[in-house]
Chain A
């Protein structure tokens, strides 16, 4: 390794890699980066949000490309050792989602039945006068709600 690179530095660079479908959310805030280590190469471990996530290859490539830009060869391994849950999204990530118009997921531990899914908080008016329209949204990780206040549909990042 040419220059001394620290784990901290790597995390800083990873902040630049965004979710391919949600450009305001970094992979770190999404919580899919599960480990970073430095040996002969930089080694990144990540885990998919959903097993069938079609974006995982793109994320992998983005990580490799970004680190290459900073002069680091990186190897990315996808594993299920630390499975992702929606609780892995950071507070900063949740705030970014809301600002982007996607309701952040409620605490997953609370999600035992439909009741929790019923009253998601509308990302526009912050009220919970909402109803679940479809537990399956445009992407695997989102559900569709309707806000009775705004009279508008919105998407929620699902609790899993």
Chain B
């Protein structure tokens, strides 16, 4: 599950100097024609760098994203929910595995990527830095955070890099199943007891601001990424993605009888765009830079898991059997 938006830094003006202009023109013409770029094809350094950055963040988001929901597997109410949640979280980790592998085709090893995650050099979706206090928080993620991720991933699946697009096609198919599961969970809360309804309303109130942050800073303030759009690395602006999400899901939330904690939220019938209170981008920046409610905890879990698993990975490097391959 991945929100994008926070992926890209500004591009320095000299980053394309030194590239062979003929190869660059050919490369751009291929993308223009809708062809996919494959691992062994020529590509500008900047393209490679930005793609690694994006796919890596996506992969990290999958494995860190498994944590806030994962803590509810052992508490999920009833067999049906327990089995579906297990499957869903496992899917996310599996997506991480596929995505790390897609990023590796660009020349960065999974080990390096995980190191960069733990030492804070590489980011993941901001939303996973918020806590899941109740079962309803978990349901919010399963339905709406997944929904947001699908909006973003469907767009990215039309991008230019072959291995990433292929991974995304399958990921999207699986996540639409997650979405169904999440939606069901919320429908049951909505049509359940007062306690259940209150639980979800409270979760919605807590999660709405991070959900609005999910797609990244407003286009007015985010860095310019025209070249990445041209290269089909970034497939839509943050505000477009956010708008698409609101368009699809606000009516569904209202339909279930819940309120959204933003008095200014409404669709402008003339422009077709949603209007809302400007999200607190200062908080967004604070959280992404490490000062959110759960940043330390999430990375600590990853760090401890890596630490405790070190002897296993070392043992795997002594080649004894056929199929277990040392990876991360």
Contact = CB atoms under 8 A, between A and B. Distances in A.
Contacts of A137: 94
Contacts, number: 74
For chain A, what secondary structure do more than half of its interface residues adopt (helix, strand, loop), or is it mixed?
Answer: mixed
Interface residues of B, number: 31
B163 A152 contact: yes
Contacts of A153: 97-98, 101-102
Interface residues of A, number: 31
B227 interface: no
Contact of A117 (B170, B173, B323, B325): B323
Interface in B60-117: 80, 83-84, 86-88, 90-91, 93-95, 97-98, 101-102, 105
Contacts of B40: 151
B245 to A, nearest CB: 22
Nearest to A52: B83
Contact of A151 (B39, B84, B95, B174): B39
Given A57-B80, A101-B166, A152-B101, A139 B174 contact: yes
A23 to B, nearest CB: 5
A20 interface: yes
A73 interface: no
Contact of B323 (A52, A58, A114, A139): A114
A100 B325 CA distance: 26
Nearest to B62: A138
Contacts of A152: 39, 101-102, 105, 163, 166
A21 B322 contact: no
Contact of A118 (B87, B177, B323): B323
B327 interface: yes
A135 B323 CA distance: 9
B317 interface: no
A55 interface: yes
Interface in B143-198: 163, 166, 169-170, 173-174, 177, 180-181
Contacts of A160: none
Interface in B304-328: 322-323, 325, 327
B173 A23 contact: yes
Nearest to B175: A21
Contact of B87 (A132, A135, A139): A139
A138 B91 contact: yes
Interface string A105-132: 0000000001001100000000000011
Contacts of A134: 97
A146 interface: yes
Interface of A: 20-23, 52, 54-55, 57-58, 100-102, 114, 117-118, 131-135, 137-140, 144, 146, 150-153, 155
5 contacts: A54-B80, A54-B88, A132-B323, A138-B95, A140-B87
4 closest A-B pairs by CB? A138-B94, A153-B101, A54-B84, A54-B87
Interface of B: 39-40, 80, 83-84, 86-88, 90-91, 93-95, 97-98, 101-102, 105, 163, 166, 169-170, 173-174, 177, 180-181, 322-323, 325, 327
Given A114-B323, A153-B102, 5 more contacts: A100-B170, A131-B325, A138-B97, A146-B101, A152-B163
